[in-house]
A and B are shown apart, each in its own frame.
Chain A
Amino acid sequence: MQIVAENLSHVYSPKSKFAVAALKNVSLTIEEGEFFGIIGHTGSGKSTFIQHLNGLIRADKGSKKLTVGEFDLLDKECDFKKLRSKVGMVFQYPEYQLFADTVAADVAFGLKNFENPNEAETAARVKEALETVGLDYEEVKDKSPFDLSGGQKRRAAIAGVIVTKPEILVLDEPVAGLDPKGKTEFFRLLHALHGGFVKTIVIVSHDMDNVAEHCTRAAVFDKGEIYRVAPPKELFRDAAALTAMGLDVPVTGYLAAQLKAAGVFVDTDFTVADFAEKTLEKWRERQ
């Protein structure tokens, strides 16, 4: 499913003195199959944008187009319930959203609401979802979600989203608060999901090293508008502009900028492995 937004706008608390234009004429197309990054500092409109993707926030009347696959989100008749089973949303610190008595019941909640299959089918789907995120079904199913470790809780929360087999998975700061190993494992999980029933992944992240390492393209939000959409390779070449916006650049982007200022152009895609390889090529040329 392709995501298309044209001239999308959203104002919070319109007509009040606290009115804030969170999105101003945002146009963006995310193709099926992408691992898409959304970056920008707090208040840039990132979260407002992603909440439009499954109708948690409705676009303002003046918006021109917002479609996700065959769903027309500007249409009053749009089947939002069906849309939400197709666009899975994982918020920041999803482990704080666990609520049921057992892990199995928590994971089954969305599934029951959307499809309500019989008990055997529900159990099978819950098992599949838990195993997909790397949890042992027999071990965790009857436990209280609050007795799991931090990393396990986050995985359980994600199982509750992917249990409906969404085609698009949207995650807001998915690795915040995880330790380095937890982060590596989490991205491994996302790549494993991507290409199965999950066709498209959209992540919001402040961590530019992660964006450089994992994303096919990224959109930079600034003050409710899109500053730029490009693959990391092009985006991080422009380190000065990102820094001026108060954003970080990946370490590789910083190093490439320093080298460029010294007259050395390293043609890298800004992943750590590629940067090292291209820098070594320059070094060998010099020898």
Chain B
Amino acid sequence: MSFIEAKNVYYRYPQAEKDALCGVSFAVEKGEYLAVIGHNGSGKSTLARLLNGLLQPTEGEIAVDGISSADKSRLFELRRRVGVVFQNPDNQLIASVVEDDVAFGPENIGLKREEIKERIDFALAAVGMEEYRKAMPSRLSGGQKQRVAIAGVLAIRPDVLVLDESTAMLDPRGRREVTDVVKKLNRENGMTVLAVTHYMDEVCDADRVLVLSDGAAVMEGTPREIFSQKEKLQKYELDVPVPMRIAELLKEGGMPLKEIFTKEELGEELCRLLRKI
């Protein structure tokens, strides 16, 4: 059995006329980084909320490490193991000092004082915010706030980090801060990551991509596999990253480019082909 397993999951919001998710199945292995993309209203955020039981499937089952979200007796444990960071940095911090905010989770699970202190140290170091432990969240930038929100989640030592468009409201610098932290947690600490995003370049960091459209899982594969199917993506109202669009125009014009994926790769290819001899 996979670490995260969704089997034929349906969800319909109360009073809604149609399903937000209709029969989605997917699996994520421990330590994997899965990106979830899809047009506005495709069901991405609903999926994120089902993972830790904030919402319950109307049909089907979703389980993390064998804990089904429908098992009410283990809901607390599920939430300890699946940490969710949402979109708006201003809606997620509740304390007036950074370290108190990070302590909120550990205090709620009833840890001892010493242990809480250790967890705060660990979590703030993991997101590079040690210097700000006494700072007021209201005086931080968007990227810093989101890093504190991630620290608050890390302090309860979850197995899975779920990001629901956590970079959407940030500027490029803030986005980089957050994506770097997430990448590091995944690569160095083996954190399982499920990231919902609209930014095609963030998708490139993932091991695998799940594409949702109108509540159904319509594509799945490595970023390279997904982005090599431009027409299919456009059918689902998505697009390939800009470097790939440029490469396609150049190829149409006759340049013998290798398969490229990132702007760095395209830059190297162009220099190789055009450099003066």
Contacts and interface: CB of A to CB of B under 8 A. Distances in A.
B196 to A, nearest CB: 12
A182 interface: yes
A279 B274 contact: yes
Contact of A255 (B38, B238, B266, B275): B266
A259 B267 CA distance: 7
B246 A258 contact: no
Contacts of A280: 250, 253-255
A181 interface: yes
A178 to B, nearest CB: 7
Interface stretch (B149-157, B171-179, B181-189): B171-179
Contacts of A9: none
Interface residues of A, number: 42
A150 B43 CA distance: 12
Interface string B127-157: 0000000000000011000000000000000
Given A276-B249, A283-B254, A283-B274, A179 B237 contact: yes
Interface string A230-272: 0000000000000000111011101100110111100000001
A16 interface: no
A151 interface: yes
A179 B198 contact: yes
Interface residues of B, number: 39
B274 A286 contact: yes
Contacts, number: 115
B99 interface: no
Contacts of A247: 172
A180 B274 contact: no
Interface in A37-82: 41-43
A283 B245 CA distance: 18
A176 interface: yes
B169 A177 contact: yes
A175 to B, nearest CB: 10
Contacts of A184: 239
Given A178-B198, A179-B238, A255-B270, A276 B171 contact: no
B276 interface: yes
Given A149-B41, A176-B168, A246-B173, A262 B253 contact: no
B239 A181 contact: yes
A158 to B, nearest CB: 16
Contacts of B249: 272-273, 276
Contact of B267 (A43, A255, A263, A286): A255
A275 interface: yes
A34 interface: no
A42 B142 contact: yes
B1 interface: no
Given A272-B242, A283-B253, A283-B255, A42 B40 contact: no
B198 A180 contact: yes
A282 interface: yes
B274 A282 contact: yes
6 contacts: A149-B41, A177-B40, A177-B165, A177-B168, A178-B198, A180-B198
4 nearest A-B residue pairs (beta carbon): A276-B249, A258-B267, A181-B237, A180-B239
Interface of A: 41-43, 92-93, 149-151, 176-182, 184, 206, 209, 246-248, 250-252, 254-255, 258-259, 261-264, 272-273, 275-277, 279-280, 282-283, 286
